[in-house]
Amino acid sequence: MKLPHRRQVLHLAAGAAALPTLSRFAWGQAYPTRPVRIIVGFPAGFAADMVARMIAQSLSESLRQQFVVENRPGAGSNIAADAVVRATADGYSLLLVTQTNATNATVYENLGFNFIRDIAPVAGIGTNPFVMVVSPSVPAKTVPEFIDYAKANPRKVNMSSPGTGSAGHIFGELFKIMTGVNIVHVPYRASFIPDLLAGQVQVGFTTIGAVIEHIRTGKLRALAVTTATRVEVLPDIPALGEFVSGYEASGFVGIGAPRNTSVEIIETLNKAINAALTDQRMKARLADLGFEPFASSPAEFGNYIVQYTEKWGKVIRAVNIKPE
């Protein structure tokens, strides 16, 4: 039976009014409907890049859409961050957030964006304690012995790092502040590990994954992990906090999105990432790289970034670290 004209018009109007709600609901439920980019501010092969690829694979499987890693190294990872800040807030351009993004907020005065304001926290992935290693040419076998040696040889001990303002540099500066040693920072643009192995530089604060094999083979001597307590991956190595009360330094990785990305999309990603971190294979792969899982809500991850930025901002300002 055919509807009368007036009822037909009202029926169609009601249906049209409902369409935006239905389409928004369907769109939110369907995310993602096309490939998602995870932009990484470091070259392929770096620990952060490897973590990004692990998470990308897991998200591809759980959300049934391709997540691809796009490397955009340069400017201390600011190029990658800027690309995501300027991307459409639709969930298809994500940032692998690291400690470098947090410290860059203080190191660089004119970034063109405010990291905390312009990147929405999605989820933590892992924290990575660093390790204080010395060349075998250094006579010190413990942190107290190293402090005594450095004080007996002011400005004769060189501290290597991946660059001015890098985590390794800033973590080393905190060590200098808290112990009173006068050692010289030597920034590298490429890996400093070969020179550390050769004794050209004497000490470094670096990711565990970068040197763990050298530690195991005795080519480098680990004096301490840069945490308040010992870590599972190097159980026999003491924590710096055991010798320098209150010292704690760790890196981190997580996922961020452009500001104004919808709550629904952020929650979808957060749940998928947190689920991935419960998988034993993921935990084992993270441990191999020196990471400990860091499951969090978006709000918890955001608070962590704010506190991290404040803590290390004080160190950066105290020693007046500027970009190269």
Compute the distance between CA of residue 91 and CA of residue 272 in angstroms, rounded to an integer: 14
Q: Which residue from 177, 176, 181, 134 is spatially nearest to 156, judged by alpha carbons?
A: 181
The upper half-sphere exposure of residue 225, i.e. CA atoms within 13 Å in the direction of its Cβ, equals 23
Q: Which of 217, 42, 230, 38 is nearest to 131 (CA)?
A: 230
Q: Say if residues 258 and 247 touch (Cβ distance below 8 Å).
A: no
Average pLDDT over residues 66-85: 96
Q: What is the CA radius of gyration of the chain?
A: 24
What is the pTM (predicted TM-score) of this model?
A: 0.86
Residues 6+ apart with CB under 8 A from 204: 132, 133, 159, 160, 161, 168, 172, 192, 193, 196
Looking at residue 29, what is its pLDDT? 54
Name, of 26-35, 45-54, 114-123, the range with top average pLDDT.
Answer: 114-123
The per-residue pLDDT for 189 is 85
Report the distance separating Cα 14 and Cα 246, nearest Å.
64
Q: How far apart are CA 97 and CA 119, in angstroms?
A: 9
pLDDT, tens only, 273-320 = 999 999 999 999 999 888 999 999 999 999 999 999 999 999 999 999
Q: What is the pLDDT of residues 211-262, one digit of tens each?
A: 999 999 999 999 999 998 999 889 999 999 999 999 999 999 999 999 999 9
Which tokens hold the place of 253? 């990785």
Q: What is the pLDDT of residues 124-171, one digit of tens each?
A: 999 999 999 999 999 999 999 999 999 999 999 999 999 999 999 999
For residues 99 and 249, the answer to whether their CB atoms sit within 8 Å is no
Q: For each of the domains in the chain, give its residue range(s) and CATH number, in order of start.
A: 34-128+250-319 (3.40.190.150), 129-242 (3.40.190.10)
Q: What is the pLDDT of residue 232?
A: 87
Distance CA 225, CA 241 (A): 9
